[in-house]
């Protein structure tokens, strides 16, 4: 490859600078807000994973429940369970194609409800 014709792949900041120099606008406030929300979600997931790894390395037992178990314990249907998972009130893990909820997560949800949560 001829070094004089090689151009490195643009970095995100380079792309934004080129857009501005060509009269284009940078990312919208909505795009930035969506990105911030996504980054916050990733940080929360990372924190949950790190917590689980700490528990596992400390030898603490981690009990995973099926969605059917959780529905039976809470006395709710699929729709309500899906709403709780989607809202983040009830943290869910995917193992393969199966969804699982930790007993600790379920207990935390129940305690929050007892304190007057949603």
Residue 2: pLDDT band by 50, 70, 90 thresholds?
very low
Structural domain boundaries in the chain: 29-60, 63-118
The pLDDT tens digits for 24-63 are 677 788 888 888 988 888 888 788 777 766 766 665 667 8
> CA angle, 95 as apex, 33 and 102 as ends, to 5°?
80
Task: Say whether pTM exceeds 0.85.
Answer: no
Which class is 63-118 in CATH?
mainly alpha
Given a contact cutoff of 8 angstroms between Cβ atoms, the answer to whether 101 and 71 are in contact is no
Q: What is the pLDDT of residues 67-104, one digit of tens each?
A: 999 999 999 999 999 999 999 999 898 888 899 998 88
CA–CA separation, 38 and 33 (whole Å): 9
The pLDDT score that the predictor gives to residue 19 is 57
108 with 101: CB under 8 angstroms?
no
DSSP 55-116: HHHTT----EEEHHHHHHHHT--HHHHHHHHHHTSS--EEETTEEEEEHHHHHHHHHHHHTT
* Structure token pair of residue 8: 């490195």
């Amino acid at each position: 490859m001829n070094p004089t014709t090689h151009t490195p792949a643009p970095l995100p900041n380079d792309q934004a600078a080129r857009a501005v120099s060509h009269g284009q606008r940078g990312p919208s406030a909505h795009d930035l807000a969506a990105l911030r929300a996504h980054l916050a979600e990733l940080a929360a997931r990372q924190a949950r994973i790190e917590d689980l790894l700490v528990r596992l390395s400390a030898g603490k037992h981690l009990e995973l429940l099926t969605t059917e178990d959780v529905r039976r314990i809470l006395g709710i249907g699929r729709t309500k369970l899906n709403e709780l998972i989607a809202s983040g009130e009830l943290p869910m893990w995917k193992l393969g194609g199966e969804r699982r909820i930790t007993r600790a997560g379920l207990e935390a949800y129940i305690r929050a409800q007892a304190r007057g949560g949603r």
